[in-house]
A = this chain, B = another copy of it.
Amino acid sequence: MKDVYEYIERNKDRYIGWLQDLCRQPSVAAQNRGMKEAAGMVEQLLRQLGGTAEQIPTSGFPVVYGEFQNDKETALSFYNHYDVQPEDPIELWTSPPFAAEIVNGRIIARGVADNKGNLIVRLAAVDAYKAVKGELPVKIKFLVEGEEEIGSLHLREFVDQNRDKVQADGCIWEFGYKGADGRLQACFGVKGMCFVELVCRGANTDMHSSNAAIIENPAWRLIWALNTLKTPDERIRIKGFYDKVAPLSVADREVLNEMDYDEESTLKKFGLDSFLLNLKGLPLKEKLIYQPTCTICGFQTGYTGEGKKTVLPSEARVKIDFRLVPDQEPHEIYRLLREHLDDHGFSDIELIPYTMTNPARTSLEGPLARAVVKTAKEVYGCGPIIKPMSAATGPMYILCQGLGIPSVSAGVGNFTSNNHAPNENILVTDFIQGIQHIAAIIDQFPREMMAEANAENREGSLT
């Protein structure tokens, strides 16, 4: 692969140019801003590299789909997205969010880390591999959606209608970072989510708070209801909530032990003295990676402006996200929550479902895992930090595990990439290494698939 790596080095300015071009095109799904143009640019790039390309319509923004080397049997897919988060608060950016300026070795732009950098890295890897080797050793599928930042609203619909296009032997997931220690992290799963809103209602109007002596306050009721959901020891009190949480295997614990988590840097970054429940070390990592959560994301009732207003609110609302781990199922959690509220005398509290996303995990063994880890060692000089799960959530189950497709994430973000925040950035050096890593995976994955098949055949012949 040395020849490919060198080709990438020699052509880096061209690839950086592709990335700058794409970052200079705003594509904010939440505001329907520049979406058509960005989708068109991705389609155009796929064609330019000799792939097939089409925009497949959904009820929302289209998915850009591209294919290379359709004659190969083994298929590797890349899941990415062309939409980005809004850029506000714009005044906190040190260079314009859509200028893609390079400052001190960093490309600064909204979307450069999440997720345009990884998208261009994968396109560049295909380009370089083809340029040097002539043809790709594996069928490549690009699945580039336009709604990741607004919750992948129509991805399930797309999958249902395009099963053949989604089918693959492995999928490289959209995100990926180096940690505070500078080592690449390879992530093998994501938490699921059950996002709900609870609404508690009182009188038909806000009223003078003197009435609170005799008229029920929905804010108090909601607080008492919430207090039954989770106790200060962080234990979630919904009956059956933990029943399907898969126990940790010995391998899971080993990986967790090896996983580096820079506690000091994180605490410093967020101005904190300690983590939740004073956790440190292994229990901290276990909670972050393997434990479900119940998080109040927003609570609103009554008057919340400056100063005082003596009002008895007519309504109180809370938004809660439950992050789920295998094998919790979001619709079941929703049902258990409803039962919990009913059992505790809060059957009047309305429950509004939002996102329902299954958690997803890929085995740490298998051809894709091996290909990603081996090639990372080669390109980065040391093996990646294995993250069995990300604490975050994505539609991995819909696109991969729900269809039996393994998926691993590896990408070019860093510890201070500021995804979703001002001054989002990636390092130019990470960008170049990322292209080399993906090119190496393209080379290695079909070999690992073949080795696996041979091993299975041997096993088969033995029995």
A residues whose Cβ falls under 8 Å from a Cβ of B:
151, 191, 193, 195, 197, 202-205, 207-217, 219-221, 223-224, 226-227, 230-232, 270-272, 275-276, 279, 284, 287-288, 291, 293, 295-304, 307-313, 316-317, 319, 321, 323, 354-355, 390-393, 420
Whether the Cβ atoms of A304 and B288 lie closer than 8 Å is: no
Contacts of A301 in B (CB 8 A): 296, 298-299
**Number of this chain's copies in the complex:** 2
Q: A217-B296, A223-B296, A309-B319 are in contact. List 6 more A-B contacts (CB 8 A).
A: A191-B210, A210-B323, A215-B270, A224-B232, A298-B301, A308-B354
**Which 3 residue pairs are nearest across A and B when measured between Cβ atoms?**
A204-B271, A300-B304, A298-B302
Instruction: Report if A210-B313 is in contact (Cβ < 8 Å); known contacts: A224-B227, A224-B232.
Output: no
CA distance A231 to B224 in the complex (A): 8
Instruction: Report if A205-B270 is in contact (Cβ < 8 Å); known contacts: A214-B284, A308-B319, A308-B354.
Output: yes
Whether the Cβ atoms of A355 and B308 lie closer than 8 Å is: yes
Instruction: Report if A308-B303 is in contact (Cβ < 8 Å); known contacts: A220-B230, A272-B215, A284-B214.
Output: no
Among B213, B297, B321, which residue has its beta carbon within 8 angstroms of that of A288?
A: B213
Contacts of A230 in B (CB 8 A): 220
Whether the Cβ atoms of B275 and A209 lie closer than 8 Å is: no
CA distance A298 to B313 in the complex (A): 8
**Min CB distance, A12 to chain B, in Å?**
31
Among B209, B220, B299, which residue has its beta carbon within 8 angstroms of that of A219?
A: B299
Whether the Cβ atoms of B213 and A323 lie closer than 8 Å is: yes
Instruction: Report if A313-B287 is in contact (Cβ < 8 Å); known contacts: A203-B272, A275-B215, A302-B319.
Output: no
Show 16 residue pairs from A and B whose CB-CB distance is below 8 angstroms, ordered by the A residue: A203-B272, A204-B271, A208-B420, A209-B321, A213-B291, A214-B284, A214-B288, A215-B272, A216-B276, A219-B299, A227-B227, A296-B301, A296-B302, A297-B303, A297-B308, A298-B309
CA distance A391 to B193 in the complex (A): 45
Q: Which of A271, A279, A295, A317 is most buried by chain B, counting CB atoms within 10 A of its CB?
A: A295
